[in-house]
Chains A and B, each alone.
Chain A
């Protein structure tokens, strides 16, 4: 399980990354993250909704209501261009961290 701090830091880019693959709704987003991470990333579920709300307010995603074939309303979220740029910046940062860990764990690399 991820620590609280790491969950807080990674939630936004993960949601953005999922939405990069296409329009999606809350319940599916949660399921996708859980499955893709092999259960390691398990968000305290309803907490995702205020986060989506905030992303929308910040203009990183936009949303629309759709009706399902069973007559239920679902709110679908889509990445905006601003969101895609934000995701790019975020991923660059995460990659930098990842790169640093790789180097640190590589015995061939000597510490200065």
Chain B
């Protein structure tokens, strides 16, 4: 074919024809613009550029001629910023109504899709909202103290001569006075100890359930617990003041004025009410009903011990505003060093800012659980968000046809974007509303699992609402982005093309990776759940070295302590009760220790810290701690009361004694003989290894009673114990404090684990549920897309199982890949979780295999159901579809 030569005139003619179509360009304008075009071309030709090229360049300047058109319109318009009549209005009410109709029609036609999409997102949002509420609530503790920033608790890092270290949140009696006198940074100090079980009496009103905070009068100068009656000044110099809460005032005095009245503590000490304070706010880490003088403990002499031995109370300091807390603590360590014998112990003093007390208590920090839960909630929302995105984009692709037609009849890109993003926003607004409802519904369950007290009114907190709204909008944008930006931007002839109009046949790489990611997360959560479950049941059933099942513990009130022998005799009358003993501490956690230990044959360089307890007769028999050498304490050897010791195996090993029985041992300065060796037993949570231990026989110092009951007679025995205690000491011991030891143990020692455990269980179930709902939706969608294909395959002879397999294979493959990818993270998680325990379950491969298998099983079950249904359909029906 001959090459067409370029004719400038006809090219300009073509240009003119194009320009004539512009509405606002009038003939005069066109002549003028043509003059411009010709001048430009002439100039370019003069510069040596070919005619054709010159025309192309000059014409290029008219590319944005649509805008030129508008500009001409505006130049002539009488109204500024008027809309040219040929431009579509920004907002078409009929169109908006039509969008809404399409949305409703779509959601009605695809109910399941709609439910999974919105339900999943709502669930994810609800979980996140709960976590946010919880974290916000916990983080808001103690904020009501005006001088919060300057209050700190003094605690110590004990360094024993044998190299052992221990964080000790207790304190020393003289520490408070010493700090006030010598530390330049300290303005004020107070000692605080919260005691329970003290009997308080006003005439015939007697209760033992008030929590009494023992503190120095300076307490009120440091902390803000406002008075409604009386003045804290009256506490100064008093050894018998009481400040009671409004609740306690009503309980003991009714409508009477309590000021100046007397309350009797344990029937021996008079406390004068000098003030009534507002009830302690719920979000206070110090919870109490009454403040009494710290020195009440030393009544009647009120002479405080002046030794520097550790005791279980706290010393708080008020620092000079702006004081450097680390420097102040270092300074304390320095000038207090003289109070400790460096050959045995050094104490490194630390300050725990009171603002951090609730979350960062060195013993049981809440912050890591909060971080864990925040993370898990975010992961669940991510999984839900991925569902939302996957389902919406899968469906969005089907809507290519709709997008194409809209464009063909004049819809602009901006209109389509508005429509798709708007739809997405409507969906997530629905999800958000649903999420708020779900949150309210789940709140009681959450409170029960986490032991929290979140109130439904918290949800009205603007921050919580704003963050939920933010999360919902982000989810909406992420999900709406694909149809809005991709489909809306395409040429109608592409989106209307036969291939893409049918929608995606496969999953597409993006959707595949999102599924893999989702299931990997779910798998990690499942591993966490299995590990915690097993560890908790391991703890529950672990052999602690004593038989904690079929044991009832009874806290001993003062009169029960005095009449212990009567209590014992009365209890033993019942056939359900086998034996009875007592001790000062509950064996589930004995943390008292003594470092002043000497023994026969000790290498002078060696020191040893031992945990200890005072026990009554029959202790080893009742708890069933085997005595491996020697004998238990016995009524036949009255000398045991003065000078008998029983040590555990670890103590024997660490003292290096080959024949321990009959060896001299000195503890607390009192000398005695080792009469028996008890088999090692766990007297601390399984997180810590067994330490050396020494028992003293001293029935006068005990405060708890342990009752061994006949197996199978739990209910009867519990009733018997409660009735005996009720008869002997009515009103002194609350029935709810009489507990089975194993229950008490789970409650007191492993609450942390129980919380994390049930939290993770809930979280992983939700995660798996949401992820599989998403998978179900996607699989349903794809199976439907392939209905015709399945029909044809069946007609040409494919078996049902073959088709089902074919359809499930892709999903199963993705889940297997997800499991493989999740394994390293899950392994790391497992190691971290179990690393906190000295005694834990082995981290075996079977755990991971179980997690992987269950996630695969869930996926196969989810998809399998659909694929089998699809495969079983009559091919004729399948082909008739559409």
By a beta-carbon cutoff of 8 Å, the part of chain A in contact with chain B is: 25-27, 44-47, 49-51, 53-54, 57, 72-75
State which of B71-79, B216-224, B267-275, B747-755 sits at the interface with chain A.
Answer: B71-79
A46 with B62: in contact, given A26-B36, A27-B36, A57-B75 (CB under 8 Å)? Answer: yes
Q: Would you call B849 an interface residue if the criterion is a C-beta within 8 Å of the partner chain's C-beta atoms? A: no
A25 CA / B39 CA spacing, docked (Å): 11
Q: Looking across the interface, which residue of chain B has its beta carbon closest to that of A56?
A: B75
- Chain B residue contacts of A57, Cβ below 8 A: 75-76
A51 to chain B, nearest CB (A): 7
A46 CA / B35 CA spacing, docked (Å): 11
Among A25, A44, A53, A74, point to the contact of B29 (Cβ < 8 A). A53
A109 to chain B, nearest CB (A): 40
A31 to chain B, nearest CB (A): 8
- Chain A residue contacts of B40, Cβ below 8 A: 27, 45
Most buried by B among A49, A57, A74: A49
A72 CA / B38 CA spacing, docked (Å): 10
A35 to chain B, nearest CB (A): 12
Q: Would you call B31 an interface residue if the criterion is a C-beta within 8 Å of the partner chain's C-beta atoms? A: yes
* Complex contact B36–A46 (CB within 8 A): yes
- Chain B residue contacts of A46, Cβ below 8 A: 33, 36, 61-62, 65, 68
- Chain A residue contacts of B32, Cβ below 8 A: 26, 49, 73-75
A44 CA / B35 CA spacing, docked (Å): 16
Given contacts A46-B33, A49-B36, 10 further A-B contacts (CB under 8 A): A26-B36, A27-B36, A44-B61, A44-B64, A47-B67, A47-B68, A51-B71, A53-B76, A54-B75, A72-B35
A45 CA / B32 CA spacing, docked (Å): 13
Q: Would you call B451 an interface residue if the criterion is a C-beta within 8 Å of the partner chain's C-beta atoms? A: no
* Complex contact B76–A49 (CB within 8 A): no
- Chain B residue contacts of A27, Cβ below 8 A: 35-36, 39-40
A50 with B36: in contact, given A44-B61, A45-B61, A75-B28 (CB under 8 Å)? Answer: no
| A-B contacts at CB below 8 angstroms, number | 55
B26 to chain A, nearest CB (A): 10
Cβ proximity bits B7-48 to A, threshold 8 Å, 1 near / 0 not? 000000000000000000000110111011011100000000
Q: Looking across the interface, which residue of chain B has its beta carbon closest to that of A45?
A: B61
A73 with B35: in contact, given A53-B72, A57-B75 (CB under 8 Å)? Answer: yes
* Complex contact A50–B61 (CB within 8 A): no
A74 with B35: in contact, given A27-B40, A53-B29 (CB under 8 Å)? Answer: yes
- Chain A residue contacts of B28, Cβ below 8 A: 75
- Chain A residue contacts of B74, Cβ below 8 A: 50, 54
Among A25, A53, A73, point to the contact of B75 (Cβ < 8 A). A53
A48 CA / B35 CA spacing, docked (Å): 13
* Complex contact B35–A25 (CB within 8 A): yes
A46 CA / B71 CA spacing, docked (Å): 10
> Can you list 23 A-B pairs with a CB-CB distance of less than 8 A?
A26-B32, A26-B35, A27-B39, A44-B64, A45-B36, A45-B61, A46-B33, A46-B36, A46-B61, A46-B65, A46-B68, A49-B36, A50-B68, A50-B72, A50-B75, A51-B71, A53-B29, A53-B75, A54-B74, A54-B75, A73-B35, A74-B32, A75-B31
A39 to chain B, nearest CB (A): 15
B246 to chain A, nearest CB (A): 61
Q: Looking across the interface, which residue of chain B has its beta carbon closest to that of A25?
A: B35
- Chain B residue contacts of A49, Cβ below 8 A: 29, 32-33, 36, 68, 72
Interface residues of B in 47-68 (CB under 8 A from A): 61-62, 64-65, 67-68
- Chain B residue contacts of A53, Cβ below 8 A: 29, 72, 75-76
A54 CA / B40 CA spacing, docked (Å): 23
Q: Looking across the interface, which residue of chain A has its beta carbon closest to that of B37?
A: A46
Q: Looking across the interface, which residue of chain A has its beta carbon closest to that of B31?
A: A73
Among A47, A50, A75, point to the contact of B35 (Cβ < 8 A). A75
B76 to chain A, nearest CB (A): 6
- Chain A residue contacts of B31, Cβ below 8 A: 73, 75
A7 to chain B, nearest CB (A): 14
A74 to chain B, nearest CB (A): 5
A100 CA / B759 CA spacing, docked (Å): 67
A45 CA / B61 CA spacing, docked (Å): 7
B35 to chain A, nearest CB (A): 5
A42 CA / B67 CA spacing, docked (Å): 18
A50 CA / B103 CA spacing, docked (Å): 43
A69 CA / B29 CA spacing, docked (Å): 21
- Chain A residue contacts of B71, Cβ below 8 A: 47, 50-51
A40 to chain B, nearest CB (A): 19
A27 CA / B31 CA spacing, docked (Å): 13
A25 CA / B61 CA spacing, docked (Å): 18
- Chain A residue contacts of B29, Cβ below 8 A: 49, 53
A8 CA / B492 CA spacing, docked (Å): 36
Q: Top 4 A-B pairs ranked by shortest CB distance? A: A50-B71, A54-B75, A53-B75, A27-B39
B63 to chain A, nearest CB (A): 10
- Chain A residue contacts of B36, Cβ below 8 A: 26-27, 45-46, 49
A44 CA / B28 CA spacing, docked (Å): 20
B190 to chain A, nearest CB (A): 55
Q: Looking across the interface, which residue of chain A has its beta carbon closest to that of B64?
A: A44
A59 to chain B, nearest CB (A): 13
B27 to chain A, nearest CB (A): 11
Q: Looking across the interface, which residue of chain A has its beta carbon closest to that of B39?
A: A27
- Chain A residue contacts of B62, Cβ below 8 A: 46
Q: Looking across the interface, which residue of chain B has its beta carbon closest to that of A53?
A: B75
- Chain A residue contacts of B72, Cβ below 8 A: 49-50, 53
- Chain A residue contacts of B64, Cβ below 8 A: 44
A3 to chain B, nearest CB (A): 18
- Chain B residue contacts of A50, Cβ below 8 A: 68, 71-72, 74-75
Q: Looking across the interface, which residue of chain B has its beta carbon closest to that of A31?
A: B43
Interface residues of B in 613-662 (CB under 8 A from A): none
- Chain B residue contacts of A51, Cβ below 8 A: 71, 75
Most buried by A among B29, B38, B65, B75: B75
A46 CA / B67 CA spacing, docked (Å): 10
A27 CA / B32 CA spacing, docked (Å): 9
A96 CA / B74 CA spacing, docked (Å): 30
A15 to chain B, nearest CB (A): 13
A47 CA / B61 CA spacing, docked (Å): 9
A75 CA / B65 CA spacing, docked (Å): 20
- Chain A residue contacts of B35, Cβ below 8 A: 25-27, 72-75
Q: Looking across the interface, which residue of chain A has its beta carbon closest to that of B67?
A: A47
A107 to chain B, nearest CB (A): 41
A28 to chain B, nearest CB (A): 8
Cβ proximity bits B699-734 to A, threshold 8 Å, 1 near / 0 not? 000000000000000000000000000000000000
A45 CA / B67 CA spacing, docked (Å): 13
- Chain B residue contacts of A45, Cβ below 8 A: 36, 40, 61
- Chain A residue contacts of B76, Cβ below 8 A: 53-54, 57
B191 to chain A, nearest CB (A): 60
B770 to chain A, nearest CB (A): 48
B696 to chain A, nearest CB (A): 83
Q: Looking across the interface, which residue of chain B has its beta carbon closest to that of A55?
A: B75
Cβ proximity bits B66-107 to A, threshold 8 Å, 1 near / 0 not? 011001101110000000000000000000000000000000
